[in-house]
Structure 1
Amino acid sequence: MVVHTRREGATGYVELDTPPVNAMGHEFRQGLLDAVDWVEAEGLERVIVSGRGRLFSAGGDAREFDDMLPEPSLPDILNRIEQGPVPWIAAAHGAALGGGLELMLACRYRVAAPGTQLGLPEVTLGVVPGAGGTQRLPRLVGLERALALIPTGRAIPAEEARAIGLIDEIDADPVAFAELANPEWLAMKVPVSELNSGELPAETFEAARRATAVTMPGQTAPQRAIDLIEASQHMPIEAGLIQERAAFLETRRSAQAKALRHVFFAERAARRPARMTHVTPPGAGPVAVIGGAATDTDIAYALLLAGLDVTFIDPDADGLARAAETFDRHLGGAVSRGLMSEDRAGTLRAALTLGTDLATATAPLVIEAVPERMEAKTAVFAALQTILPPDAVLATTTACLDLDAMAQALDDPTRLVGLHFSAPAHETKLLEIVPGARTSDTALAMAFHLAGRLRKTPVVSGPGDGLICNRLLGRYVEAADTVLMDGSTPWEVDEAMVEFGFPTGPFEAQDLSGLDLAHAARRRQDATRDPNRRYIPVADRMVELGKLGRKTGAGWYRYPGGGGKVDDPIVADLALEEARYAGVERCDYKPEEIRHRLLLALINEAADILYEGIARSATDIDLVSIFGLGFPRWRGGLMFHADTLGPGKVLEGLKELSKEDPVVWKPSPMIEDCAARGIRFGKWRR
């Protein structure tokens, strides 16, 4: 059984039991309907509904969303619960999300354990709530609070939910507390659907739409949710539920919903790949970071934020002093911006140990983050293996050096794994995990466990210069530089990509990370660069002029007074000067042409990465593009989007552009293969 029922005296108990998250699939809904029938036949005075396992319910089963939803429908069941002769009490723990919260809203009384997360996250999957969420929640907590929760998909803890009236009580044992409820008092409680949500002026909803368009650009479900919340104040609950259900069924069939479901399942699969299913994850433990590179402190800070004890080692005393200043700046900035309390900052400072002696780096996991020189890295590993116990895992942050060559410095090469953090490591959500030829499952398990602790999405990358993310980023920037050289401005390029759904354009993104980092990468590639490939020198000129980005007050944009970006005509003049010197006949690209070129460049590079075996699947490319490059999640990722265009159209576009430059725009063999065989990029295998 997926829904269990029992009675004790005049009290009925309904327990949800579809592990691991009590998802509300077809079997669950039928079981819940049977439980409603049982309740009404038993002559009970009250019913307590709770969830078995680690949570109440995470809501609908996303695996059903691509199919017709068979009866019974959840809205019909919840209407019977709310309007039935026996009052129901929801006793939640862990989480009550989506349909789980909608079930609670249909109950007369709601109790939750401390820390229980409650929310309606449906918009994150491209749909609106479909079982009363947009109609009952405004009636219970008010229109303004509903506008703050439903269109954002935000979950709140029980303590906040109690403060706004979403739940009635908090108790460590919600079922035991529910048993104390007086049946006569319960019977007098008004169902949520009979409450009045109040009324807000149309201007409030318009403001919500504008704000949502900024925070969730291009997405339709949040806007539809606002429409439904607004409608809830003007129509009876019955009409509102009908309108909501129609919107739910419409949005679940949308292209955005399909794309977001694709990403949802891709993320879930990435967290625990098949190779790891037989490996016991390691327990939490301290981590040591060997610093000296530009990203070292950001990595250590990310570990601290995850609640890990961190030993940070930099053999250079001056480097260690700079690192200490950076940690203080991170913590102080978080406190001043209200992101962290003084107590929390103090706890993190206490969890950080600074030193210059490698001998103190005794931890189950040691992350090497020294400059990208093979001799520097192998020297660190040679020293560490004389200090660390044999079961300690060693990780390198390299994105360009040969991992297997590095492993030769170790007596036991199986303990080495690559961990590449996208910058800034404490803010980004991607962690590329790079197994070498002899990396053990134990070392890999440690890497995946760390990704989970850091709440990052892990993606396995094969070794190779740039791995997946930096390869894509390099080609993206190259294409943007080319468009700049050929006639556009940085702000025109950025605006075109932001309109597509990127949070920032390629030039503003470079200003955030620093133009010197990309400059150093280009210098590493000088010796191996194809002499027949067009090279755009504008960024090099920028570095020569000291325009390194936001940190110097000027890059592709100016940042007067450390504030927001301002277009810099000097940069446009510089690009024009370089174009004249190179004899380039400039043109005026429209936004759609800019997007066409940059996206085709990304798709072609991704196809090469797949063809070379650096990435295992198109889905992995999708995750890297979303979490590493900022590709719009609601478009499903780079290769999912490419499949909406079709291999034939992609190939046709590349062939047309190759007339301008046959080297840069040479179609990937993978694209040619998919077009010839008529298969989707997502189905391609070597």
Structure 2
Amino acid sequence: MSEVVRYEVEDGIAVITIDNPPVNALGAGVSEGVVAGADRAAADPAVQAVVLIGAGRSFIAGADIRRFGTKRETPTRRSYDALEASPKPVVAAIHGFALGGGLENALCCTWRIAVPEARIGLPEVLIGIIPGGGGTQRLPRVAGVKAALEMITSGRHVPAPEAKFLGIIDELVETGDLRAAAIAFARSIAGKGLRRVGEIPPPAAEAGLFEAQRKVIARKARGQPAPFAAIAAVEAATRLPLAEGLAEERRLFAELENSPEARALRYAFFAEREVAKLPHLPKDTPTPEIRRVAVVGAGTMGGGIAMSLADAGIPVKLMDASPEGLTRGLQKIRDNYAVSVKRGSLTQAEMDRRLPLIEPVEGYDAIADCDAVIEAVFEQLPAKQEVFRGLDAVMKPGALLFTNTSALDIDQIAAATGRPEAVAGTHFFAPANVMKLFEVVEGAKTAPATLLAAMKLGRAIGKVSAYAGTCDGFVANRSRIPFGLEQNLMVEEGARPEQIDRVMTAFGYPMGPFAVNDLSGLDVNYMTRKRRAAADPNYRKWPVADRLVEMGRKGQKTGAGWYRYEPGDRTPHPDPIVDQIAREVAAELGIEQRSFTDEEILHRLLFASVNEACRILAEGKALRASDIDVMWLNGFGFPRYRGGLMFWADGIGAREIYNQIAAWHQRYGARWAPAPLLREIAEAGGSLREAKAPQLRNG
């Protein structure tokens, strides 16, 4: 037997226990151990049936992703083969997760039981591949083609009760010890024959199902071959015997495993786990518990933050400067939940559970006993400082004071209190209840415990917590500012908004940057630009965008922005007025307008941000280049199958990017000065995505 697989016999039932912490991934020794256990049980006349179960937190949470894309030996017999060929019934006892190879192993068992809290799925498309252990062939035979197709192409985790409804799970274990229940179940079915999934004939599919599914995923899966390969594999299951279908699945899997998209998606997977680590902080730092939270400000951001907390089951007190603002905010929250119920993404029962967790209160005294408070008022420093003075006066000792600012100096906000060590930034991205990125900002006096508690809170509410040091714009927005600047300057130089949007959607963004500006509102960043211009005499203004705002063209909400919109229709229509304003600004600034290639547009936008990301890393405001990639993936809609900004840049090469930026420096001036770190990486032939902050390089 293997060190990570145990074998025991209890009253004629063999129990094969996978014990490969933390999640029983199918790493080295696991498959071999299961094969050995199945063979041992088959050879023992005293064994009547077999139970396959996982120790710890899960059944089997999938394959060890680190092994994909590497040279590895394929065993003559895999666990799938041994389980399905067992001459004695095998019961898969599922708790926690049975994902990917975990579900595929379970499908090779004779029976499957699970606790109600368990979740199953085949999420391989999310890392750019398809199931490679027979999932595309066996799941349709059990759950039906339509349900299997949806599960495999979406990669979603299916709750055990739904899995039972679909026929994937045979029985739910509502109470008691799963191991004991599995042994009892195995004893009850011993001697009653075998039900091998592989012996089920190819399942039938309704006419037009596969073509319809291709159309459904066409937009979402643009640039990603895996979902389409998954459809092809499931289609093979409907027309081929199992052995031939398995061969087709393996062929498709092999084509995808080392594709650029799969490599990028695996990188993103690990980057999102690395971003949670703060190795520059003492490892033994105690982390305060946050059980009750207050949100100050019931506007769009405050309401979204309150929803994020309630969605995670965290009680939240919501207050606002005025009773009217509080009433409006609560109604907006109710309306948002009601829309989710209407769409079917939320049940009425779940809405009824979440709403009471949001308690409207008046005045600071009502929130004084909370463990943490998140300020979400208007993005102006005096307003935020006033709130923090009020909080400092009433919040209990040890309470953590967080600010949802997108750019303002955390130190200036913390200075309004007598407890700057308890202050940190918690930057939510709009809409706060939807977007995954949660930027945690460290001020000069922020205590490690405060920082760690904020990171933990973000994860508790389902966000991706990412560290940033305080500076104007922090890491995410600061790295994105050059992108926004170049998109605006190219319009002055003759590029049209619709061409730039087309280039970026072709690259993989769900929307172009100008369409996004119109959606969020052109006035959102108008005041920020005014603040920066007042603080920096060399600040390069965005005159075309400013004039649109000053004309009342604030985007979709006013019917016009970079585009015009028909009443009740969000379709962007190019507007000659914008072209006219761009020509006028160009004439005033002495800029000769010209045409642009698509490649120049793409590189102007993204190279500018790569250069700024190198400055941010050198200053230690971000810990790792991969953290910046995580922020772009979860905050700005950067196409996931491209890995992230810095991963994508490595595909071009630091030397080529440096040379282009140096040329643009000569042409356009100081804003394109190459970052020293970029030059260093280019000269060394190094990797941009592996760059780290000085505090990590030196420690």
The TM-score bracket by the shorter chain reads over 0.9
| Cα distance change, pair 447–78 in 1 and its aligned pair in 2 (3 A) | same
Instruction: Tell me whether 1:472 sits opposite 2:474 in the alignment.
Output: no
44, 52, 55: which is aligned to 2:58? Answer: 55
1:523-672 to 2 correspondences below 5 Å: 523-529=530-536, 531=538, 534-569=540-575, 570-672=577-679
Q: Counterparts of 2:190 and 2:11 in 1: how far apart (Å)?
A: 18
- Please list the CA deviations of residues 213-240 of structure 1 after superposition, one character each: whole Å capped at 9, or x if unmatched: 2122211211211111112222221122
Q: Which amino acid in structure 1 is aligned with residue 655 of structure 2? A: G
Shift of 1:183: 6.5
Q: Counterparts of 1:535 and 1:396 in 2: how far apart (Å)?
A: 27
Q: Give the secondary structure class of the aligned counterpart of 1:271.
A: coil
Q: Counterparts of 1:141 and 1:679 in 2: how far apart (Å)?
A: 48
Check whether the contact 1:476–1:506 (CA below 8 A) recurs between aligned residues.
no
335, 341, 347: which is aligned to 1:341? Answer: 347
- Please list the CA deviations of residues 559-585 of structure 1 after superposition, one character each: whole Å capped at 9, or x if unmatched: 433333231323334334433444433
Q: Which residue of the partner structure matches residue 37 of structure 1?
A: 39
Q: Which residue of the partner structure matches residue 112 of structure 1?
A: 114
Q: Give the secondary structure class of the aligned counterpart of 1:6.
A: strand
Q: Counterparts of 1:241 and 1:476 in 2: how far apart (Å)?
A: 46
- Please list the CA deviations of residues 619-645 of structure 1 after superposition, one character each: whole Å capped at 9, or x if unmatched: 111111111111111111101111111
Instruction: Tell me whether 1:288 sits opposite 2:297 in the alignment.
Output: no
Of the structure 1 ranges 447-456 and 300-309, higher mean CA displacement relative to structure 2 is found in 300-309
Of the structure 1 ranges 370-379 and 230-239, higher mean CA displacement relative to structure 2 is found in 370-379
Check whether the contact 2:137–2:246 (CA below 8 A) recurs between aligned residues.
yes
Q: Which amino acid in structure 1 is aligned with residue 140 of structure 2? A: P
Q: Counterparts of 2:333 and 2:195 in 1: how far apart (Å)?
A: 53
Q: Counterparts of 1:396 and 1:242 in 2: how far apart (Å)?
A: 55
Q: Which residue of the partner structure matches residue 123 of structure 1?
A: 125
Q: Counterparts of 2:170 and 2:17 in 1: how far apart (Å)?
A: 20
Shift of 1:493: 1.2
Q: Which amino acid in structure 1 is aligned with residue 284 of structure 2? A: H
Shift of 1:278: 3.0
Q: Counterparts of 1:46 and 1:124 in 2: how far apart (Å)?
A: 35
Q: Counterparts of 2:207 and 2:487 in 1: how far apart (Å)?
A: 42
Q: Which residue of the partner structure matches residue 680 of structure 1?
A: 687
Shift of 1:613: 2.1
225, 230, 233: which is aligned to 1:228? Answer: 233
- Please list the CA deviations of residues 37-74 of structure 1 after superposition, one character each: whole Å capped at 9, or x if unmatched: 2112213221011111121110101122242223437x
| Cα distance change, pair 103–401 in 1 and its aligned pair in 2 (3 A) | same
| Cα distance change, pair 341–89 in 1 and its aligned pair in 2 (3 A) | closer
> Which sections of structure 1, spanning at least 5 residues, go unmatched?
none
Shift of 1:212: 2.0
Instruction: Tell me whether 1:452 sits opposite 2:455 in the alignment.
Output: no
Q: Counterparts of 2:342 and 2:557 in 1: how far apart (Å)?
A: 19
Q: Which residue of the partner structure matches residue 250 of structure 1?
A: 255
1:18-97 to 2 correspondences below 5 Å: 18-43=20-45, 44-72=47-75, 76-97=78-99
Q: Counterparts of 2:337 and 2:31 in 1: how far apart (Å)?
A: 48
Provide the TM-score with structure 1 as the length reference: 0.94
- Please list the CA deviations of residues 507-555 of structure 1 after superposition, one character each: whole Å capped at 9, or x if unmatched: 1111222111111111111123453x65431111211222212233332
176, 193, 210: which is aligned to 2:198? Answer: 193
Check whether the contact 1:276–1:445 (CA below 8 A) recurs between aligned residues.
no
Q: Which residue of the partner structure matches residue 697 of structure 2?
A: none
Q: Give the secondary structure class of the aligned counterpart of 1:517.
A: coil
434, 439, 454: which is aligned to 2:441? Answer: 434
Check whether the contact 2:202–2:239 (CA below 8 A) recurs between aligned residues.
no
- Please list the CA deviations of residues 441-474 of structure 1 after superposition, one character each: whole Å capped at 9, or x if unmatched: 3212220221112211111101100001111332
Q: Which amino acid in structure 1 is aligned with residue 66 of structure 2? A: R
| Cα distance change, pair 372–198 in 1 and its aligned pair in 2 (3 A) | closer
Q: Which residue of the partner structure matches residue 512 of structure 1?
A: 519
- Please list the CA deviations of residues 279-331 of structure 1 after superposition, one character each: whole Å capped at 9, or x if unmatched: 45444511111227762222222222222211112233343343233323323
Shift of 1:504: 1.4
| Cα distance change, pair 340–77 in 1 and its aligned pair in 2 (3 A) | closer
Check whether the contact 1:142–1:197 (CA below 8 A) recurs between aligned residues.
no
Q: Which amino acid in structure 2 is aligned with residue 365 of structure 1? A: A
Q: Which residue of the partner structure matches residue 169 of structure 2?
A: 167
Q: Counterparts of 1:80 and 1:296 in 2: how far apart (Å)?
A: 55
Q: Which amino acid in structure 2 is aligned with residue 194 of structure 1? A: E
Check whether the contact 1:114–1:170 (CA below 8 A) recurs between aligned residues.
yes
Check whether the contact 2:48–2:191 (CA below 8 A) recurs between aligned residues.
no
Q: Counterparts of 1:13 and 1:650 in 2: how far apart (Å)?
A: 57
Q: Counterparts of 1:277 and 1:603 in 2: how far apart (Å)?
A: 31
Check whether the contact 2:65–2:266 (CA below 8 A) recurs between aligned residues.
yes
Provide the TM-score with structure 2 as the length reference: 0.93
Q: Counterparts of 1:367 and 1:536 in 2: how far apart (Å)?
A: 32
Q: Which amino acid in structure 1 is aligned with residue 213 of structure 2? A: A
Check whether the contact 1:46–1:183 (CA below 8 A) recurs between aligned residues.
no
Q: Counterparts of 2:540 and 2:416 in 1: how far apart (Å)?
A: 38
Q: Which residue of the partner structure matches residue 420 of structure 2?
A: 413
Of the structure 1 ranges 262-271 and 178-187, higher mean CA displacement relative to structure 2 is found in 178-187
Check whether the contact 1:6–1:13 (CA below 8 A) recurs between aligned residues.
yes
| Cα distance change, pair 295–660 in 1 and its aligned pair in 2 (3 A) | same
Q: Counterparts of 2:297 and 2:607 in 1: how far apart (Å)?
A: 37
Check whether the contact 1:485–1:576 (CA below 8 A) recurs between aligned residues.
yes
Q: Which residue of the partner structure matches residue 361 of structure 1?
A: 367
Check whether the contact 2:298–2:330 (CA below 8 A) recurs between aligned residues.
no
Check whether the contact 1:417–1:439 (CA below 8 A) recurs between aligned residues.
yes
Check whether the contact 1:282–1:449 (CA below 8 A) recurs between aligned residues.
no
Instruction: Tell me whether 1:141 sits opposite 2:162 in the alignment.
Output: no
